[in-house]
Each structure stands twice: as structure tokens, then as C-alpha cells.
Amino acid sequence: MALNGVMVIDKPTAWTSHDVVAKTRNLLHERSIGHLGTLDPMATGVLVLVIGKMTRLCQFYEHSEKAYEGAIRFGFSTDTFDAEGDPLGPTQEVKVTLEDCRAAAAGFVGKLQQVPPPFSAKKIKGVPAYKLARKKQDVELRPVEVEVKEFSIAGMEAGLAEFRSRVSSGTYVRCLAHEMGQRLGCGGHLASLRRTAVAEFQLEDAHTLEQVAEAIGRGRLEELLVHPRRVLPYMPSVTADEDTVGRIRHGRSVNLAEFSRAKWVKVFAGQSELICLASRVAGSLFHPKVVLLG
């Protein structure tokens, strides 16, 4: 039986997002697996996997808010803006106070024009920036508007500042760390990063790859999947009768009178089988746009 669902993985450090997807494909014997937002290898935490027909939901998460916690090391900057890079100069004495750090962080909250780091997957004439940076070639990336909704410093000790942040999709947290170091005049880089949320998916929903393997061995993998009713919570849900399911199966519009003001509706067959996302055509008439039926 084909597996369709959403599963949150607690990505381990030193793994790429692609590594996690490849490992999960091997564990599940399922080729159709994607994710809702890359994490750098050094980062850990929430990596949301969409499996089978649920990959069709990716389009609804392209601009999802993300939340992080981590630490910034002051004293020197690196070429990658994180702990995996080479220092850009000698270590400097850090005379920054907690108050200085909090004041600087507050200046990054809001909409910003952020230039992506040179070691990133952003493409320049079709070539990823990190490939050019590794060859010591000039990397000129255009600034992109991002929004930092929260950037708070929880504490600071021995030049290491712990922070929490909530940011729009496309925001590079390591850029914030690098720019913090510049603003405070002592240099800085991202020392650690853990993603705690992507859209509605939280760290509390996450499972390790070892837990996934164990659940498969016990025949209980479905217990690790996010319940479909929790997916895209801003869309109302309706449980369809047999006639409505039949109409959807043949790509025909359906009447959902109770949702005449909604733009999208999640349609279920029973309590847990998400069969389609329907968009409103006019009035209470909805057309099945994203069909998940076999």
C-alpha cells in the first residue's frame, strides 16, 4: 500500500537535508519524498518531509515562517558566516555587554534587505554561489527582502550569545550573526543553530531517524505521521459523503454551502484520509485543485 503523509524529522548535525531525504527513501522504500525547507549541515532540528502524494502540498509552504534558537560567537567572522568556515581575520577582544547585544539585535527586527552569504545555494548565472566561492571567484548576490519577526538575545557569556528568532522564508540566520558581529565591531559568526518550527510543525512533532527505523521494524510507522487534519490549519475541513468523493474522483466541482467565504477547503473521506484541496470557484461551488486520491 502506498504511503502518503507528512513526517517531521529532527535532523542531526553534519547531515544535509538531501542526506536525510535519501536515508528516509531507503528506509521507506519510497522514491517520492521531498522536504519543506533546507537546513544547513551544521544545523539541527525541524525538517518536514512530505511523502507520496503529499508532495503536492509543497506549493502551499513556499513562504512559511520558520523559528530557530542558537548561538552567536563573537570575536571573529568567517567566510561562510558560521562555525564551519575559515576565519576572516585574527580573533578580537570582545567587550560587548548583554545590553549592547540586545540593542544590536533589536535593530534587525522588521523588513530587511539581506544579501545572501557567498557560501549559499543562491545561483549566479545558473551556478550555485558556493561553487564560485570555493574557487575564490567573486560572488555578487543581490539583496532580497526578508522579514525578521523576532530576534531576541536570551543570554551571553564569554563572547557567546544565545538567541531565539522567527523569520520569513528565505532569511539566512547566519547572515544575522555575521552582521551582528559587524555592527558590534568585533566580528561574529553563527556557532550553532536548531530549527524549532516550520509553519505549523514544531520540534515536539519531530522524530529521529533511529526512531523512524524502529517504528518501521515494529510496523508502526503511521504513528509518526502528522495527522492530516493538522496540516494547513488555516484551511477549514469537511468530511465528504460518497457522492462528493465520486465527483472529486472524476475532477468535478462540488457544492460546499457551509464554506462559501473560504478560498480553500480540505476535503476528507472519513476522519484521516485527505482526498483533495478544493478552491472556491464562485459562491459555494468548489473545484478540486489538488487531488490526492489514487
- Provide the CB-side half-sphere exposure for 56 (13 A, CA): 14
Q: Which residues are catalytic?
A: 40
| Alpha-carbon gap, residue 47 to 56, rounded angstroms | 17
**Cβ proximity of 187 and 181 under 8 Å:** yes
Report how far Cα 146 is from the mean position of its chain's Cα atoms: 15
**76-94 as b/e, with b when 16 or more CB fall inside 10 Å?**
bbbbbbbbbbeeeeeebeb
